[in-house]
Structure 1
Amino acid sequence: MSRAWAASVLAMLLAGCQPPPEATPLRRPATVADLAARLPAEAAGFQRGATTPLPRGEDGREIGYRTPGRIAAGATVQLYRLPGVVLPEGLSSPDAADAFNDLLQDAMRPAPQRRLREEARFTLPAEGPALLRCAETAGSYGRERVQGLLCAGSLGGGLLRLRVTMPRQEPLPADSRAFATGILAALRTP
């Protein structure tokens, strides 16, 4: 066996071990803390408030938002991961569907001072692949007429749940769809 032949066989074997030039290394999904840090101080007139631990999932976080003024709208953004699972982005996983259904059932469950009904469903973002399934709600808390928005989906390997509630009046204190769109855009920006 000649040295030239052995060298060419060795070169071919080593070349076969190299990844193709177009292959990109796999990125680890962002942590819940990383995602929470991406949330803006202000989104569609809502100002960020406190971040609290969420007992749901791994390292869950709940971030509060509200609009300024006497008649305010309130919102919560929940970020969490299911133990040992990295979810695909969007609405395709059963876990994303369960997160939305649980959020909706919790909101619709009658309580002594709360009556809500679902008015419409849609997905966000309006352009491109759907990442959040949303439902607009209306009803009352005691004597106060209210409206709201509930959204859930999979993002960054975990789950995002978003809830907005505000008095039902003209003019509205805030735009709940713009808030949800702003939160989604912030979370998708690395």
Structure 2
Amino acid sequence: MDLKDHIRGIPDFPKPGILFYDISTLLREADAWQVAMGRMARAVRAYMPDLVAGMESRGFLVAAPLALKLGCGFIMIRKRGKLPGDTIGYNYALEYGEDRVEIQADAVQPGQRVVVVDDLLATGGTMAAGIALLRQVGAVVPAAATLIELAALNGRAKLDVPCEALVTYAD
């Protein structure tokens, strides 16, 4: 099955000149979604994760069912102020400014293997920040995974771990 057949491109969203890859069309097709999660599980299983960390927010849609399929736990990496309880954060640079990602302070035990998952890898900044945050709390991050990679934006170059992508768009 070609998963690209189930991902819709929407031109000029969220602003002119951007081609948005909409995964809602993949999510609503049960067979295609099962195939995607099966392929993602096969790719990620080799890294033997204890936990799968989903990047806010569309990454949750991929990471939670993936963790269930792999039989491991799921944790959330969220934007500042979105998680209850004590949190640990990591600030990272944006093109114009700074942002912050956080996890709950008790989400990861030192030495646990955590694969970071998002729906899309573009410039790589958010994924790299998630990896850095997990390492800051003592996690071992053997890999990252994503449904879609926009290869032209070279986000993979910001990651110092292997990145499994189910679908790659060259332009």
Q: TM-score scaled by structure 2?
A: 0.30
* More RCO (CA 8 Å, sep 6+): 1
Higher helix share: 2
Q: TM-score scaled by structure 1?
A: 0.28
